Amino acid sequence: NAGVTQTPKFRILKIGQSMTLQCTQDMNHNYMYWYRQDPGMGLKLIYYSVGAGITDKGEVPNGYNVSRSTTEDFPLRLELAAPSQTSVYFCASSYSAANYGYTFGSGTRLTVV
Amino acid sequence: AQKITQTQPGMFVQEKEAVTLDCTYDTSDPSYGLFWYKQPSSGEMIFLIYQGSYDQQNATEGRYSLNFQKARKSANLVISASQLGDSAMYFCAMRDDTGGFKTIFGAGTRLFVKA
């Protein structure tokens, strides 16, 4: 049981480049989330999805886009990368039941130079 | 708006002793969930314990317990019999039960366990 799989684990981007962070879960979770964690800080919600075809903005959505065409996949797209997007990105998923914590992926460390 | 506050940037505890990590929260919603997550130096996020806003008893999971004081809006994590492997960053989090189950996180407390 793989849980939540994120790729890549590390990436260096040049300013203005674009990329997609991949996230896949095999637990049939309806709810999926993207967070970013800046050094020494807590996690900030970028986007979330309550099911296939449904996405919504979180606290810090600017500069990002998401899609949810299947239950399993929730990719995060960065357009025109900026140094402010240097961060660790976590994908997470959860059951719809209220008392379950999130299952997190292992994270993607992104540096924009 | 919901808010989570962790006022202890760092804490030290002697091995085998108990330690309390503080967390206060603010919300106007009657239904919410409170969580603690552990982040070791390897970087992964590990779910530790959950407390629902309507739960009458404090949650416990092995050596972890959550001291839930609803009137004071606090949800402190107590780790008993600390082990060297407990050295990590600990995040308090609150989930919105109104839809989407969005969760906000505190800034975290770094715990150092001394041998």
- Cβ separation of B47 and A96 shorter than 8 Å? no
pLDDT (tens digit per residue) in A74-88 = 999 998 999 999 999
Backbone angles phi, psi at A23, to 5 degrees: -145, 125
Predicted local confidence at residue A98, as pLDDT? 62
What residues of A are in contact with residue B37 (Cβ under 8 Å)?
101-102
- Choose the closest CB to B50 out of A40, A58, A101: A101
Q: What percent of chain B has pLDDT over 70?
A: 98
Contact call for residues A79 and A66 (beta carbons, < 8 A): no
Residues ≥6 apart with Cβ < 8 Å to A23: A4, A5, A6, A32, A34, A73, A74, A75, A76, A91, A105
d(CA B36, CA B41): 16
- Choose the closest CB to A50 out of B37, B100, B107: B100
What residues of A are in contact with residue B100 (Cβ under 8 Å)?
31, 48, 50, 56
Query: Does residue A94 belong to the interface with chain B, where contact is any CB pair within 8 Å?
Result: yes
pLDDT (tens digit per residue) in B80-110 = 999 999 999 999 999 987 766 789 999 999 9
pLDDT grade for B19, boundaries at 50, 70 and 90: very high
- Choose the closest CB to A42 out of B33, B52, B106: B106
What residues of A are in contact with residue B104 (Cβ under 8 Å)?
45, 59
**pLDDT(B1) > 80:** no
What is the full per-residue pLDDT of chain A (113 aa) written as tens digits?
679 999 999 999 999 999 999 999 999 999 999 999 998 889 999 999 999 999 999 999 999 999 999 999 999 999 899 999 999 999 999 986 566 789 999 999 999 99
Q: What percent of chain B has pLDDT over 90?
A: 86
Predicted local confidence at residue A1, as pLDDT? 63
Query: Does residue B104 belong to the interface with chain A, where contact is any CB pair within 8 Å?
Result: yes
Chain B residue closest in CA terms to A39: B107
d(CA B79, CA B21): 8
d(CA A40, CA B108): 8
Chain A residue closest in CA terms to B59: A99
